[in-house]
Chains A and B, each alone.
Chain A
């Protein structure tokens, strides 16, 4: 029994309500309580590193009857990503959200979303996963429309409709699974599925799961909501959506269900490869044509999620390491980019690249961090993105997937091109006359982007020189996925159900 696990979900969930109530006393209290909450969850996520696999039975109900929270290497990696980015986004919001009214409501929704993500990452119960998924999703629908302008509401509506279709599919999958096995405990279901032959109903359920999670991760052809929703949200929410939400309730949930519940058969991996390859290419080509900074970053998220899913879908140890490393890196540089875009918008009032230019002259901090984010995601050494892309291409070649390796390298060039375009038209060149009075952003915003930029640089260098990084963060998570490849009883089942 690990008593920190319920706190990871409970603290943000409770504080989401308390923050709203306390803010009636004074608005500033909301700032403090939201920051304190995210500091607490981030600290706990780091405290949990290396504690090994552990479980918690909610209400003392032992599995398979009660809800189980399961912590392993994969959850650990995701918790660190989710809670660190959440902390930095909240710090960024301290100044950024001043221009919106109802800041406490923002924090409240934000914490609901955080609780939902932590819940999805930790839960060992299929129906419970659906519930947390909905908490995170519904909070994110509201956050996307937080600006309540025409554009935001339209984006939020599209996101709501498509997101609900996905949630319904996940629920359908849960229902069918329950009908077939009589259990919703993931380990229990997995053990039962391994013992009886595959049925068409289960295949249908699997299809529903995959579609639902693929839509939440923004994979092509389920991606259409993403380029509207992610740019419309306030910058710290965009950073959360693109940086972690699509990973936690999308890729993570898909991988957890495929590897630990359904069993990673070749056909599932093949579907992941196809979805990933499509996303990689389509997202990249769409990003080139964009002139809206945040919209370009959103398309780029689709493309980068494609890399992650392709790497994980290879089903090799190297592929898992590469994919998880890229997932980690993408969280760092994409939230950095969205926050930087937020800083640019905060200072200039626009995110249209045609109206920007020459910001390097007036906003040295923001320009440097934007450039670092752009170079990281384009795979330029010594930044972190280079190493994860290198490993992904290496894993593709090692698995004999030559076409995917060439595609990954080619889309890498495309990525470089559109980020060069972003830098060319926003950071360099002549400063437009209208922007001659812009100032650098206030300290909390600068702090968040600098912290993420340091992560982008440091992780690249550390990964290269110190194998401990990979051993602590990536290996345990990759082991979980390797475990899912086995056809007989896995250690996941053993650790949850106690052998």
Chain B
């Protein structure tokens, strides 16, 4: 077991170094990255299928403080490791095509592989200090990867700044929390901690950990780095880190702190649920009015985190399973959506919804897979998004918070509304005149995309399989059994058979109507205006106007306008206050006049001597 673990961490780390130092000949880096990612997936599967274990790597004592470095494979962390491996392979395979011929690929693949090593290290270490180090390393590599964006360097640089700024803030809180636990409880082994969240210290510690997990996963109010990153980072990275691996890490920490590191009270649970519900609604409202495809998807990435946080916040077995399931599902369909957006960007050279349209004819595979993913994210049965959302709805009821259920369902409806706009604006309607000739993306991109889309259907129709195989063992057999026991399996996990039949019937009826329509050929005439035939371009209806009404509602209008300027972004908000009070104030005091500086020194001297003598 020990050797497998070592290999799991070392293989991607060494492969990353190889990518960095080997001569930059043609495909060597791609090859190494591919082999390493496949190896990681293989090793992850081996480790996952083995029994839970605990391995002590080394004891050491920097500065006289004893630290035991244990690697513990709990069922939960092993499941996460497995999925990290899976997303690693997907990310590398997608990058082959997406990043072909771009400068700096040796760094790009090295960081990608090191991210795998750091994530696995974080998931497996029982020692909180090592956990924090690995966690921060993954942030560091994310920062480096965001800065690998070559298409719009300025946005990439800003995105990197913001990403590291917000994550760094949350990590400082996490580190402080770990240090306080170290001194107060005398141990930083996760397994031996069970801190009650009563009293100010317990609550504060929980909040510090919660901030870190929320920032990594992207829950409000620490979400703002995700939309920023979407504008600047390479799309392959958006799908790889913020949409998949960072979610895994963030949700992993959230589950750990909500189930075993802390003994959580009902008040804390309610707080977490509120954060989840607010995240769902606010982010989806913002997504609704976006005009940039990548940014819109980023807001949905935030909104979906709300479901996971909500489900885990309920503290019920069904909620936690639902939250984890939703995390996996989200990574699947979000990957399809981001890959699709990347293909659209590569082909059409823009992700501005107003400039796109009518691409379905030219990119049928991308279109089909994105429609499936869009339906999945909107929670349309029988797709996977629905299966996990259904469990989260159940958990809201079980926790006795029907209002959360309403928020979650409203969020789903708004998500659907937003994706109707996306599908229409990008793929339907007429192709605008300004768009270059568009071709289907290469099979290296469309095939994995279709495979993931099929997986979205599979995880929905046969939802019981992933839940039984991956998730129920992950949260512990006894705990999971309460799902079956208390509610009855049939009621909790949505039974797809009847609905699937109904949907198939519905589709069949639709097809019949469509064929009937085709049978009687309608008469087509050009549009006339004032006796002139209108050019085709003028009859085009862009999809961005669909929700113009919402954008212009009295109260929302100012809110949207402010949010576009960043006024509601907490980091902007805090930064402007600090800037105004401290930075400007202190700069104002530093006039450069020598006599002022001299008088400070003398005053300082007088105060010191006064303190010493009196």
Q: A residues near B, CB below 8 A?
A: 157-158, 161-162, 165-166, 169, 200, 203-204, 206-208, 210-211, 214-215, 221-222, 224-225, 227-228, 267, 271, 282, 285-286, 288-289, 317-318, 321-322, 325, 357-358, 360, 375, 378, 380-382, 386-387, 390-391, 393-394, 397-398, 405-406, 409-410, 412-413, 416-417, 420-421, 423-425, 428-430, 463-465, 467, 470, 474
B residues 156-195 near A (Cβ < 8 Å) are 156-158, 160-161, 164-165, 168-169, 172-173, 175-176, 179-180, 182-183
Complex Cα distance A225/B601, Å?
Answer: 11
B residues 576-601 near A (Cβ < 8 Å) are 578-579, 582-584, 586-587, 590, 592, 594, 596-598, 600-601
Range of interface residues on B (Cβ < 8 Å): 35 or more
Complex Cα distance A423/B159, Å?
Answer: 12
Given A391-B63, A406-B176, A428-B157, A289:B140 Cβ within 8 A? no
Whether B157 lies near A207 (C-beta < 8 A) is no
Given A158-B597, A382-B137, A428-B157, A318:B63 Cβ within 8 A? yes
Whether B147 lies near A380 (C-beta < 8 A) is no
Given A318-B63, A378-B168, A413-B172, A429:B605 Cβ within 8 A? no
Complex Cα distance A288/B165, Å?
Answer: 13
Complex Cα distance A243/B213, Å?
Answer: 37
B612 at the interface (CB under 8 A from A): yes
Residues of B within 8 A of A285 (CB): 578, 582-583, 586
B64 at the interface (CB under 8 A from A): yes
Residue of B nearest to A321 (CB): B63
Complex Cα distance A464/B609, Å?
Answer: 42
Residues of A within 8 A of B175 (CB): 390, 393, 409
Min Cβ gap A231→B in Å is 13
Residues of A within 8 A of B541 (CB): none
Given A169-B605, A285-B583, A224:B597 Cβ within 8 A? yes
Whether A267 lies near B60 (C-beta < 8 A) is no
Can you report 26 residue pairs joining A to B where beta carbons are below 8 Å apart?
A: A162-B594, A204-B613, A214-B604, A224-B600, A225-B597, A227-B590, A288-B579, A289-B579, A289-B587, A321-B63, A322-B63, A360-B147, A375-B140, A380-B136, A386-B133, A391-B62, A393-B175, A394-B183, A397-B183, A409-B173, A412-B172, A413-B172, A428-B156, A428-B160, A470-B62, A470-B64
Residues of A within 8 A of B180 (CB): 397, 405
Complex Cα distance A429/B150, Å?
Answer: 9
Given A390-B175, A424-B161, A162:B597 Cβ within 8 A? yes
Closest 9 CB pairs of A and B: A224-B597, A207-B609, A428-B157, A429-B157, A285-B582, A211-B605, A203-B612, A424-B161, A289-B583
Known: A161-B594, A267-B611, A271-B611. 6 other contacts (CB 8 A): A158-B597, A162-B597, A289-B579, A318-B64, A318-B65, A393-B175
Residues of A within 8 A of B609 (CB): 203-204, 207-208, 211
Given A271-B608, A409-B172, A286:B60 Cβ within 8 A? no
Complex Cα distance A243/B172, Å?
Answer: 25
Residues of B within 8 A of A424 (CB): 157-158, 160-161
Most-contacted residue by chain A among B61, B596, B609 (CB, 10 A): B609
B residues 114-140 near A (Cβ < 8 Å) are 129, 132-133, 136-137, 140
Given A211-B604, A398-B183, A464-B62, A381:B165 Cβ within 8 A? no
B413 at the interface (CB under 8 A from A): no
B603 at the interface (CB under 8 A from A): yes
Complex Cα distance A203/B612, Å?
Answer: 6
Given A285-B583, A465-B60, A428:B611 Cβ within 8 A? no
Residue of B nearest to A375 (CB): B140
Residues of B within 8 A of A421 (CB): 161
Residues of B within 8 A of A358 (CB): 153
Contact of A224 among B137, B173, B590 (CB under 8 A): B590
Complex Cα distance A360/B148, Å?
Answer: 10
B10 at the interface (CB under 8 A from A): no
Residues of A within 8 A of B136 (CB): 380-381, 386
B154 at the interface (CB under 8 A from A): yes
Min Cβ gap A250→B in Å is 14
Contact of B164 among A169, A317, A360, A416 (CB under 8 A): A416
Whether A282 lies near B586 (C-beta < 8 A) is yes
B residues 550-579 near A (Cβ < 8 Å) are 578-579
Min Cβ gap A417→B in Å is 6
Residues of B within 8 A of A158 (CB): 594, 597
Given A271-B611, A380-B136, A208:B605 Cβ within 8 A? yes
Residues of B within 8 A of A380 (CB): 136, 140, 168
Complex Cα distance A206/B610, Å?
Answer: 11
Complex Cα distance A424/B61, Å?
Answer: 37
Whether B179 lies near A429 (C-beta < 8 A) is no
Whether A207 lies near B612 (C-beta < 8 A) is yes
Residues of B within 8 A of A325 (CB): 63
Whether B60 lies near A467 (C-beta < 8 A) is yes
Min Cβ gap A172→B in Å is 10
Complex Cα distance A211/B610, Å?
Answer: 12
Whether B172 lies near A410 (C-beta < 8 A) is yes
Complex Cα distance A360/B133, Å?
Answer: 26
Min Cβ gap B273→A in Å is 28
Residues of B within 8 A of A464 (CB): 60, 62
Most-contacted residue by chain B among A360, A387, A390 (CB, 10 A): A390
Whether A267 lies near B612 (C-beta < 8 A) is yes
Given A200-B613, A204-B612, A428-B153, A474:B597 Cβ within 8 A? no
Whether B160 lies near A206 (C-beta < 8 A) is no
Residues of A within 8 A of B65 (CB): 318, 394
Most-contacted residue by chain A among B58, B61, B183 (CB, 10 A): B183
Residues of A within 8 A of B160 (CB): 420, 423-424, 428
Whether B64 lies near A317 (C-beta < 8 A) is yes
Residues of A within 8 A of B137 (CB): 381-382
Complex Cα distance A413/B62, Å?
Answer: 24
Residues of B within 8 A of A286 (CB): 583, 586-587, 590
Residue of B nearest to A287 (CB): B583
Whether A430 lies near B153 (C-beta < 8 A) is yes
Residues of B within 8 A of A222 (CB): 600-601, 604
Residues of B within 8 A of A428 (CB): 147, 153, 156-157, 160
Given A380-B136, A424-B161, A474:B176 Cβ within 8 A? no
Complex Cα distance A337/B564, Å?
Answer: 36
